[in-house]
């Protein structure tokens, strides 16, 4: 699949400064960009960061230096310019990674609380990728999310402090009633996520864990729509883990397939997370926790309905009819 600047261009965005827009119509699941970092740094003190970045800048090409120095700095006056630019623009090289990276085009992509693309560090390629999570029209701005699913007041403060802007995305610009409904969903998503993360839930209350996973999937779709891909993948994987831990290969395979489809859209077929889910989709018993808590679900739960698009199948899958 072709990727890169044939899909997008850097341009001025009214009210936002510089951003990235689609050059052509982009289908859902397209890999729009795949970039290698021009600079990577580990978390460190401001003085250490400043020295490290200065050393790395001297080793860059002139074009790379210009690309770095032309990026926005939300921390002017509060920290050295090199550090401010990096703090404003660096993306982590993977979930919870201590390493941040700067990219010539990806760092130009602006934020939306309901983005139309997903950014992901592909550890196999050692590159950051951008995938369309819905169809994007030519001329439409390409957006990613800078926030972590916070409620409106929290994320607005975070955007102002970390990135120096007031979010005006469609969600943040919606009516007070709509924003209140969104905040309520996000609070409930966080509550359910905390419950699912309880280390005893999978062992002692697997049915309750599946119920929470199902509830969070519904809320994610309501809140984020097609932008929920990676969040849905995580929830399906949580449900998968509950099933494999109790020996249920049939349901585990279905949940792995759903997680795989979400990863494929948002990360591509060469992402390690995508290939891992494809493997578990074919052979759930290869997961290291298969049957680790019990095998009581191995031969229980009734016959699997043939029509996977039916309400009956959904009831069976989430063990609502067991």
Dump pLDDT digits (tens) for 27-46. Answer: 999 999 999 999 999 999 99
pLDDT of res. 4: 53
pLDDT in tens, 270-319: 999 999 999 999 999 999 999 999 888 987 667 888 888 899 999 999 99
What dotted CATH number matches 176-317?
Answer: 1.25.40
DSSP 186-209: HHHHHHHHHHHT-TTHHHH-HHHH
pLDDT of res. 256: 98
pLDDT in tens, 136-149: 999 999 999 999 99
Reported confidence tier of residue 160, pLDDT bands at 50, 70, 90: very high
pLDDT for 2 beyond 50: no
pLDDT of res. 199: 81
The helix (run of H) or strand (run of E) holding residue 18 is strand 17-22
pLDDT of res. 5: 65
Where helices occur in 101-142 by DSSP H, the ranges are none
Token output for 245: 């831990």
Token output for 230: 């990676």
pLDDT for 113 beyond 60: yes
> What are residue 122's DSSP bridge partners?
127
Residue 189 CA: distances (Å) to CA of 149, 150, 192, 239, 291: 9, 10, 5, 15, 28
pLDDT in tens, 263-283: 999 999 999 999 999 999 999
pLDDT of res. 322: 61
For Cα atoms 173, 177, 182, give the angle at the middle one, nearest 5 degrees: 70
The residues, any chain, with a CB within 8 Å of residue 299's CB and separated by 6 or more, are none
Domain topology for 8-159: Beta-clip-like (2.170.270)
Where helices occur in 40-151 by DSSP H, the ranges are 46-59, 62-69, 81-89
Residue 274 CA: distances (Å) to CA of 23, 50, 93, 188: 28, 36, 17, 28
Instruction: Indicate the average pLDDT of the chain.
Output: 94
Reported confidence tier of residue 119, pLDDT bands at 50, 70, 90: very high
pLDDT for 177 beyond 60: yes
Total Cβ atoms within 10 A of residue 200: 8
> Is 56 exposed, middle or buried, given 0-12, 13-18 or 19+ CB atoms closer than 10 A?
middle
> What are residue 129's DSSP bridge partners?
34, 120
Query: Could you state, in order of their start, the residue ranges of all structural domains in the chain?
Result: 8-159, 176-317
pTM for the predicted model, two decimal places:
0.94
């Amino acid at each position: 699949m072709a990727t890169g600047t044939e899909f997008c261009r850097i341009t001025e965005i009214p009210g936002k400064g510089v951003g990235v827009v689609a050059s052509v119509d982009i289908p859902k699941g397209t890999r729009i960009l795949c970039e290698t970092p021009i600079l990577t740094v580990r978390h460190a003190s401001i003085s250490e960061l400043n020295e490290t970045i200065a050393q790395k800048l001297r080793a860059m090409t002139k074009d790379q230096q210009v690309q770095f120095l032309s990026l926005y700095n939300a921390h002017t006056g509060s920290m050295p310019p090199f550090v401010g630019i990096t703090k404003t623009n660096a993306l982590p090289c993977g979930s919870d990674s201590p390493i941040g990276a700067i990219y010539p085009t990806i760092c130009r992509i602006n934020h939306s609380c309901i983005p139309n693309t997903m950014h992901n560090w592909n550890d196999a390629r050692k590159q950051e990728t951008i995938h369309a999570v819905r169809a994007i029209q030519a001329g439409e701005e390409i957006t990613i999310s800078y926030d972590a699913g916070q409620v409106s007041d929290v994320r607005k403060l975070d955007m102002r402090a970390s990135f120096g802007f007031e979010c005006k995305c469609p969600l943040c610009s919606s009516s007070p009633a709509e924003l209140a409904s969104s905040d309520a969903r996000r609070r409930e998503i966080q509550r359910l996520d905390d419950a699912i993360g309880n280390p005893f839930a999978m062992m002692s209350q697997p049915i309750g864990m599946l119920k929470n996973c199902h509830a969070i999937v519904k809320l994610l779709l309501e809140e984020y729509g097609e932008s929920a891909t990676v969040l849905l993948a995580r929830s399906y994987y949580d449900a998968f883990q509950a099933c494999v831990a109790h020996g249920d290969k049939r349901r585990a395979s279905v949940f792995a397939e759903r997680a795989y489809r979400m990863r494929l859209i948002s990360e591509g077929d060469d992402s390690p997370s995508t290939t891992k889910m494809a493997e578990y989709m074919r052979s759930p018993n290869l997961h290291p926790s298969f049957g680790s808590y019990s095998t009581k679900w191995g031969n229980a739960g009734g016959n699997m309905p043939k029509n996977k698009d039916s309400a009956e199948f959904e009831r069976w899958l989430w063990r609502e009819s067991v």
